[in-house]
Structure 1
């Protein structure tokens, strides 16, 4: 196995773990919101759950399409499927863009309205949310012009930002375990760490595999 193939295998293992992490955490989150609304047992004000319960439609518009976005995006990057099932690849690409627009806009709104992590969270959600939407539009623009290499690069950038949300979960666990910083203070910091980490990894991979 050459170096590129090895790195690609490592990336796929990481992506799979992140997708599973997000699917499980999303199910738990939606189930918690539904339970609170159905039983009337509302969480205390000032907690992250309180913000979710007060905005159930926005949360569902972000979480459900977000899970589909990660699965749709993963399919797009499977080369054998892309090469053999080109028509499915194209239709799935349209779905990927649509889902991305939904979660990008809803993510920016969540950062502005919920703000559990304060202004630090809002800045991260807004800044990287705008970059995420820009990357999606650039990817679409390049594929329309049949600029396949550039399309691939912007798809990678968009997907890396989209899946960064899953990395926030283990980062939160690390802060809980190894620091005494209150949750609402480090929550916004985890956004910045996850988004920057994924952006850097994406750029390294793009440059390393650029033809």
Structure 2
């Protein structure tokens, strides 16, 4: 049991570190280094409609801000200390996460038709948007039904999609810079690779980290205690 708790804490710490580093990187690249996204836009091929750059940039900025907010809110709500000692914060923060995901999905839906690589990636992004929102709503529905363990599992699946952009660029970098594959194809492989990896990582965490059912038990002083 102690080994499982230690593994869970280590994974949570790793997740926090990766999330923070990636948010800092994204903020630097998109708001300081290349605020016009000139490098990223230069790779766009197969786009059927012209990109209205000022509008696209504003949508992208909103997308980034709320993607980071979703990443932060989700990370906070996986803390058992927050759930056990600050239940109201956990609940409010959960709705912040839901709102953030909704904005991410809407802005991504706008940008999908302009995806690098054309229609094949536009379809993939729209499918991922539906899955992301569906998983998040499923998590909310489960907690409304007081199914804590099921809620946690659906949240793990939902939160994995917060790292979609990270995985896409990771795969793209490996295929393009490591194997010399043309950028558009590398990006396409990255998009579909990220979709698979999202599900794989979520199921790994559910099956090997969160192996014990989650439960909320009352303590002697009538405060709620979380057993994770």
1:33/1:56 contact within 8 Å kept: no
Closer/same/farther in 2, CA of residues 52 and 186 from structure 1, 3 Å limit: farther
Which residues in structure 2 correspond to 1:91-110 (within 5 Å)?
Answer: 91-110=92-111
2:169/2:187 contact within 8 Å kept: no
Which residues in structure 2 correspond to 1:18-97 (within 5 Å)?
Answer: 18-31=19-32, 34=35, 36=36, 46-48=42-44, 53-54=53-54, 55-97=56-98
Q: Distance in 2 between matches of 1:43 and 1:13?
A: 30
Q: Distance in 2 between matches of 1:30 and 1:51?
A: 19
Q: Distance in 2 between matches of 1:99 and 1:204?
A: 25
Q: 1:165 Cα deviation (Å)?
A: 1.7
Closer/same/farther in 2, CA of residues 146 and 95 from structure 1, 3 Å limit: same
How many residues are treated as equivalent by the alignment?
Answer: 204
1:139/1:150 contact within 8 Å kept: yes
Q: Which runs of no fewer than 5 residues in structure 1 stay unpaired?
A: none
Closer/same/farther in 2, CA of residues 52 and 21 from structure 1, 3 Å limit: farther
Q: TM-score, normalised by structure 1?
A: 0.84
Closer/same/farther in 2, CA of residues 201 and 103 from structure 1, 3 Å limit: same
Q: 1:108 Cα deviation (Å)?
A: 2.6
Q: Distance in 1 between matches of 2:90 and 2:205?
A: 22
Closer/same/farther in 2, CA of residues 191 and 181 from structure 1, 3 Å limit: same
Q: Distance in 1 between matches of 2:75 and 2:41?
A: 37
Q: 1:66 Cα deviation (Å)?
A: 0.5
> More helix by proportion, 1 or 2?
1
> Partner of 1:199 in structure 2?
199
Q: 1:67 Cα deviation (Å)?
A: 0.7
> Partner of 1:189 in structure 2?
189
2:171/2:186 contact within 8 Å kept: no
> Partner of 2:180 in structure 1?
180
Q: Which runs of no fewer than 5 residues in structure 2 stay unpaired?
A: 45-49, 214-228
1:104/1:129 contact within 8 Å kept: yes
Q: TM-score, normalised by structure 2?
A: 0.78
2:170/2:190 contact within 8 Å kept: no
